[in-house]
Structure 1
């Protein structure tokens, strides 16, 4: 009898322990990270992310709500195009990191199409990796140590492709942008819109989202799209092909509905293809922007931005009503970190920023960023702390309770990360993080948009400076971003004593970082000698 009682007490203890463990696990915040593609700093209608330079043409009411409900960052950065940004975000490392190595889309040898190559090429570019290694400990791996289920729904570019089993992702739904199928016996290609193939019927040429590929019908319009109508004529959608952006949004909603019932927190990473070229919007929204007097090209662009916005709204609203029954008693919004971000600067118009996607000017690397976490992140707040893709892994690890110091890679080596957590900025405990420097390093070429360059951004007090070094000419340029967001005034053309002091310090920090990371620089074409780092006092030649 005593043994039976002891056994019963043991069972009670075990169930109590397991119940508490599950409760603690579930109390960890869910995380939804939406990553737009090529969305520029001024493409949102909110002014919170861009010093009130929001678009007066494109409408993003759902993302604007996020900005009002959370913290916006005016100085959020990425890399110059999509693959290196995604690789840095997932790995927590710069391209110089041992498990990254992704500097550019495709390669660092991308000639200028206008000149049919590189006339008088001085430097043979570094040969890069096109995906991060599969031995590193990714953001998915880190969160899984805290009991998270993980998903990638969208574009994997820059991560192992196709995504490998054991890479830390439970649902690796990698979806291609270009849709290529056989139609009437001929190979047909589409951007964004589903095609009706000879073999599979309506398809996005993807096993992951094909179940969402059927054309728009009245039920879908009434139930899913009508809450986001925003003065568009949705009846024109009846029977026309489904848009990939809607399909990815629908898949993400279904994932939330499934995982909200489970005991584990979830990390849902949704890297949309929108608003990447070739830009194709959704007909009702394209018609809306055409009626505003926009050119066909800009109308498609505005259409795709608003379509992305609608799907951000769909995903956000799925947190309010996970089972979709209209009863909000199962709302999980308050226990979910919701993030909106873009992978690089826009291709269309980034004014007042200089440059565009593919360049290291502000227009190429400064992007919108919003974090919402009700009760933890104060509503309608704005931070000017400079943050970067590499910072997301340590920040989310911090907020999920993971210890990076104990993380090991898949090969047993200790994991190393370049980023810094800005969780204390999000919670309001600090105004800024201790880190002062960010770096970009491009040992090669991409058409007219960059040549071999290293860039350091430094915060001195409340002021941000940028120092460029160009390897071909051994020249430097220096900008004060607080006073010169357009990067028009190179301070080294007529430097003050203060400017020189700043430039010398930034140059020294740049050289220290390059050496510490063994950053590749390529070789000179004429003699095969390795291109040297900047001289430790290289900016001294600009003294008056």
Structure 2
């Protein structure tokens, strides 16, 4: 065989291998995505000041989240809905609650009784009957990523989204792997909501087949290899033989998922909606003891413990990206090809100063949350944006980042889905400071105990300032705030507006009405006569101007 023939033979042998290698490289060019969704973690509950205009907690310790903020971009004006189910539904569907594939406005229903009166007395409006989960046949955030070859996983809390324990959703669950933990142990909100129980029939359990294999009590190996590296100034030896915390189990499952899929030819989307720090707040024993020794009241110590436990599990997941096989060698580090996101599902249940209100309300304390994106060499480190973003924006943002044309997607019935969010991908990458959208909306056609009644809220950006206009259907009244200058929502602008503020109010009134009409937003009916509750009239805000 001459030299040319030998070269030709070698090339013919290597060509399929080169083609396969290029194919794998192309598939791996898509970034992995890890989205951590905390539960009830407030805007000021983290110790970094990047996400909250310098209002980081002086009590709660979140060193991992703080470092994450220094490695990526933080959003000081990140929003969700008032509680968990509508936030999760909006995130996964890419639609407001008024969207055809969403229709989830509140946890449970829009007729939540007032605990103060132990009943539902004398309400003038019969609420709209909402859905409990988003539509199965809609195109969700998992479907969008699957079009680009992503394998997807969902482990944690499922409120607002289909899962096997709510109705017959066994056929078309959102993610490829849906290890969803829907209920507390024994169905009771006791301390065992977070701590595994020992069952004679099942052994150690979280009442979930998905993570029960991780429910065994803390032992020396786990303490020494998993927990000690965090140097949390806590006595981890206190944990030996005690029940496993659900937060650790979800973190451990996520780590195992990354280990199993880090080297796969397909990119992955790992969605981790933790139950922490939702009530009934139950910290981990070693961390709770640490904060009690500092003189904190038991209630505060438990909460501080819970927050730091969440932070440690963010660290576990982040560590798995850096060293997927866990051998201490970082040659297999996938951090640079992974978008890592930390977010919360609604405002804090506790104090949220300087924000007004808490979870369940449409004031800033109920809606504004911490948000961090890290994507090395794509997102600049230690940057901060005050661009307002919302749950509905994640789906189009992911689509733009991974190259999905949303206009070409079709639902099972052949119709095109209507996604209502705006991509903020160019804000992430620093190509733009703002997105073109001016308005965000919240609409609640019903009641949630003492925290909200039928109302609509519009937030508008004017230049670099944000305004909020509330409309309350029972009283047909408006309130308006400049939350850039008045973050605590103390001054109702409509009590004494300037000429410019009147113009802004009238435009917001008009935009609110146009949005309600275009979305055919439900309002409920008047109890007195069964008639539909009307939308606010055009220029109706004039009624409140002196």
User: TM range, normalised to the smaller chain?
Assistant: over 0.9
Distance in 1 (alpha carbons) for counterparts of 2:294 and 2:507: 50
The partner residue of 1:209 within 205, 208, 211 is 211
Equivalent residues in 2 for 1:41-80, closer than 5 Å: 41-80=43-82
Distance in 1 (alpha carbons) for counterparts of 2:97 and 2:451: 18
The partner residue of 1:39 within 24, 38, 41 is 41
Partner residue, 2:533: 531
Partner residue, 1:119: 121
Distance in 2 (alpha carbons) for counterparts of 1:14 and 1:148: 24
CA contact 1:202–1:214 (8 Å) conserved in 2: yes
Residue 68 of structure 1 aligns to a residue in which SS? helix
Partner residue, 1:487: 489
Partner residue, 2:513: 511
CA contact 2:191–2:282 (8 Å) conserved in 1: no
Query: What's the TM-score, normalizing by structure 1?
Result: 0.96
Q: CA deviation at 1:169?
A: 1.1
Distance in 2 (alpha carbons) for counterparts of 1:111 and 1:177: 22
Residue 347 of structure 2 aligns to a residue in which SS? coil
Deviations 1:290-326 (A, max 9, x none): 1111111111110000000000000001000000111
Greater shift after overlay, 402-411 or 361-370? 402-411
Runs of 4+ off more than 4 Å: 5-18
Asked if residue 175 in structure 1 is aligned to residue 181 in structure 2, the reply is yes
The partner residue of 1:223 within 209, 222, 225 is 225
The partner residue of 1:282 within 276, 281, 284 is 284
Asked if residue 461 in structure 1 is aligned to residue 463 in structure 2, the reply is yes
> Aligned pair in 2 of structure 1 residues 7, 105: CA closer, same or farther (>3 Å)?
farther
| Structure 2 residues without counterparts, runs of 5 or longer | 1-6
Residue 192 of structure 2 aligns to a residue in which SS? strand
Q: CA deviation at 1:403?
A: 1.2
Q: CA deviation at 1:410?
A: 2.7
Equivalent residues in 2 for 1:469-484, closer than 5 Å: 469-484=471-486
Distance in 2 (alpha carbons) for counterparts of 1:7 and 1:238: 63
Distance in 2 (alpha carbons) for counterparts of 1:484 and 1:230: 37
Distance in 1 (alpha carbons) for counterparts of 2:426 and 2:306: 34
| Structure 1 residues without counterparts, runs of 5 or longer | none
Greater shift after overlay, 233-242 or 408-417? 408-417
CA contact 2:183–2:207 (8 Å) conserved in 1: no
Distance in 2 (alpha carbons) for counterparts of 1:264 and 1:15: 18
Q: CA deviation at 1:167?
A: 3.5
Partner residue, 2:295: 293
Aligned residues: 536
Equivalent residues in 2 for 1:367-446, closer than 5 Å: 367-446=369-448
Distance in 2 (alpha carbons) for counterparts of 1:288 and 1:507: 51
Residue 193 of structure 1 aligns to a residue in which SS? coil
The partner residue of 2:304 within 275, 295, 302 is 302
CA contact 2:82–2:360 (8 Å) conserved in 1: yes
Distance in 1 (alpha carbons) for counterparts of 2:321 and 2:10: 39
> Aligned pair in 2 of structure 1 residues 402, 232: CA closer, same or farther (>3 Å)?
same
Residue 190 of structure 1 aligns to a residue in which SS? helix
Asked if residue 22 in structure 1 is aligned to residue 24 in structure 2, the reply is yes
Deviations 1:454-510 (A, max 9, x none): 000000000000000000000000000111000000000111111110000000000
Distance in 2 (alpha carbons) for counterparts of 1:329 and 1:8: 30
Residue 185 of structure 2 aligns to a residue in which SS? strand
Distance in 2 (alpha carbons) for counterparts of 1:181 and 1:357: 23
Query: What's the TM-score, normalizing by structure 2?
Result: 0.96
Q: CA deviation at 1:413?
A: 1.4
Residue 540 of structure 1 aligns to a residue in which SS? helix
Partner residue, 1:350: 352
Distance in 2 (alpha carbons) for counterparts of 1:119 and 1:165: 41
Distance in 2 (alpha carbons) for counterparts of 1:15 and 1:470: 66
Distance in 2 (alpha carbons) for counterparts of 1:275 and 1:453: 28
Residue 478 of structure 1 aligns to a residue in which SS? strand
Residue 93 of structure 1 aligns to a residue in which SS? coil
Distance in 1 (alpha carbons) for counterparts of 2:284 and 2:539: 54
CA contact 1:504–1:537 (8 Å) conserved in 2: yes
Deviations 1:218-250 (A, max 9, x none): 110010001113100101001000000000000
Distance in 2 (alpha carbons) for counterparts of 1:167 and 1:8: 48
Distance in 1 (alpha carbons) for counterparts of 2:65 and 2:230: 12
Residue 414 of structure 2 aligns to a residue in which SS? coil
Residue 390 of structure 1 aligns to a residue in which SS? helix
CA contact 2:191–2:280 (8 Å) conserved in 1: no
Q: CA deviation at 1:536?
A: 0.7
CA contact 2:111–2:127 (8 Å) conserved in 1: yes
